[in-house]
Structure 1
Amino acid sequence: MRGPEITISFAPGLRLFAAPERREGRTTVVTDGASTLGHVVESLGVPLTEVGRLLVDGREVPVSHVPGAGETVEVGAVARPQPVPGAELRFLLDVHLGTLARRLRLLGVDAAYESEDIGDPALAALSAAERRVMLSRDRGLLRRRELWAGAYVYSDRPDEQLRDVLGRFAPALAPWTRCTACNGRLEDADKRAVGERLEHGTRRSYDVFAQCTVCDRLYWRGAHHARLEAIVEGAVAEFGGAAGPPA
């Protein structure tokens, strides 16, 4: 027996999630008469993490709305910048987003990263336990109910991924203050105190060092500094913050 029939359309940015026949204009969907609008939207392939306003016949409704026969539904994309209320903005990235994690850390953004595949249930539980926004390209992971918050990373290119996350969440940038290896905080290191850990050439050529307060890794303005500085300067120019490393 057929349930209520509704008409639904998706904002342009959400159409990539839907089946090809639902990507242009309005299409008809037969519901079961009991499922919420949120469930209907997800059943059509769109993670709720990416959904903004839901309009039914022009009025805004919650995801818990149960659609009725003849209703016209418009599914909007999440607002940008997207507020994350009630908690300090922190991220958790899955195993496939290591480069993005390191670039966020380079900019001073708190970005936890799982270098091994611990599975969707464990990632979702960690997101909830530490109140971190889960960043992933895995739509199934983003549909897990236990997630505290989540966001789909739309590109597979690190440069575009970084711009996407910074533009969506507008985190405060504090470049050169986090360890890119473990996410710990950096502090100034006295060259005399760490000298025995340095190669002779490094000790001779550099005077300014920083040290991770968690893993003790040392940092200095080495061969890769120009490339990293370009990433920092580009992000700061577009999204704000202070570009220079600690003196």
Structure 2
Amino acid sequence: MNGPEITLEVAAELRLFVAHDRRDGRTAVTTDGSSTLGHVVESLGVPLTEAGQLLVDGRPAPTSHIPAAGELVEVRAVQRPQQVPGAPLRFLLDVHLGTLARRLRLLGVDAAYESEDIGDPALAARSAAERRVLLSRDRGLLRRREIWAGAYVYSDRPEEQLRDILGRFAPALAPWTRCTACNGDLAPADKDAVSAHLEKGTQASYDVFAQCTACDRVYWRGAHHSHLEDIVADAVREFGDAGRQAPTA
């Protein structure tokens, strides 16, 4: 670029995206004189999904603003909880976020998940078609213009990922109501009706069951139920009210 020079001041939360960040978050950028502010921010390394309000010399500015020489641009982080207008809050997770998807489903959050790598264009297209917030740690994927909405998952640890997404979007929680395998709805199931799906030991040891209305998977309070209860209790304590109790496999 060989045009006007501006200064970008990036919020502390976003400085991990800026390779040549300064300690105070300010970076001098020479623009080409025609690129939009949104393009300049992304060229610095910050996905627009993570940029909140943009201020130019202290005044709010749209991403379509063309920066002029000497301007100071402040890039703020997304305000939490983040509002996603125009559709029920639903998520789409990429192939690397399977554990996060299952934990969101455990809490009753609608979380579609691709267990195979279907490619960035297909993920972006599904986000747009189903109006789902695309969650990913792939910055390039989040820069695709066709996605409906997106968010960068900052941690690589599932427990931190869950807290991040629940804190950022504040989805309604309804634990034990969604299939962790396919995202379908769970319904109470009669033991005799699901007996064909059960091992003899399970039939003898448990009496309360639920079944997915989409994939027919059967759930009960199995040996690892206490671990799942801990995940639910921690999330509900910090982010929402407990939903109805139901069995889980």
With structure 1 as the length reference, what TM-score do the two structures score?
Answer: 0.97
CA distance in 2, matches of 1:20, 1:226: 46
2:143 is matched with 143
Deviation readout 1:178-213 (Å, 9 max, x if unpaired): 000000000000011112321111111111000000
1:170 is matched with 170
Q: Is the 8 A contact 2:15 2:21 kept in 1?
A: no
Aligned length: 247
Deviation readout 1:111-147 (Å, 9 max, x if unpaired): 0000000000000000000000000000000000000
Amino acid at match of 1:74: E
| Identity %, equivalent residues | 78
Q: How big is the shift at 1:2?
A: 2.8
2:234 is matched with 234
1:44 is matched with 44
User: Secondary structure of 2:70's partner?
Assistant: coil
Amino acid at match of 1:112: A
Deviation readout 1:76-110 (Å, 9 max, x if unpaired): 00010000001000000000000000000000000
Q: Is the 8 A contact 1:138 1:152 kept in 2?
A: yes
CA distance in 1, matches of 2:86, 2:218: 34
Amino acid at match of 2:114: E
CA RMSD of aligned residues (A): 1.2
Deviation readout 1:142-188 (Å, 9 max, x if unpaired): 00000000000000000000000000000000000000000000000
Q: How big is the shift at 1:21?
A: 3.5
1:126 is matched with 126
Instruction: Tell me which moved more, 22-31 or 88-97.
Output: 22-31
2:30 is matched with 30
Amino acid at match of 1:177: T
Q: Does 1:213 align with 2:213?
A: yes
Gaps of 5+ in 2: none
Q: Is the 8 A contact 1:94 1:136 kept in 2?
A: yes
Q: Is the 8 A contact 1:15 1:23 kept in 2?
A: no
Q: Is the 8 A contact 1:208 1:220 kept in 2?
A: yes
2:4 is matched with 4
2:18 is matched with 18
Gaps of 5+ in 1: none
Amino acid at match of 2:241: G
Q: How big is the shift at 1:246?
A: 2.8
CA distance in 2, matches of 1:71, 1:142: 27
CA distance in 1, matches of 2:238, 2:187: 26
Amino acid at match of 2:136: S
Q: Which runs of 4+ in 1 moved over 2 A?
A: 20-25
CA distance in 1, matches of 2:160, 2:228: 16
With structure 2 as the length reference, what TM-score do the two structures score?
Answer: 0.97
2:200 is matched with 200
Q: How big is the shift at 1:23?
A: 5.3
Instruction: Tell me which moved more, 207-216 or 197-206.
Output: 197-206
Q: Is the 8 A contact 1:232 1:243 kept in 2?
A: no
CA distance in 1, matches of 2:2, 2:171: 47
User: Secondary structure of 2:211's partner?
Assistant: strand
